[in-house]
Amino acid sequence: MGSESDSENEKKVVKRSEKRKVRTKKVQFEEKGRKGKDVQGQVDELTRKLLQLDIKDNAYTVVYAQLFILALNLTDKLPPPS
pLDDT tens, residue order, the chain (82 aa) = 555 566 666 666 666 655 667 788 887 766 554 555 688 899 999 999 999 999 999 999 999 999 999 998 988 889 999 8
The residue segments making up the domain with residue 17 are: 2-75
Question: How much is the pLDDT for 19?
Answer: 64
* Entry pTM: 0.54
Q: How many domains does the chain have?
A: 1
Question: How much is the pLDDT for 27?
Answer: 79
- Report if residue 82 sits inside a domain: no
The upper half-sphere exposure of residue 57, i.e. CA atoms within 13 Å in the direction of its Cβ, equals: 12
Question: How much is the pLDDT for 46?
Answer: 94
Helix, strand, coil content of the chain in percent (nearest 5): 65, 0, 35
Question: How much is the pLDDT for 21?
Answer: 76
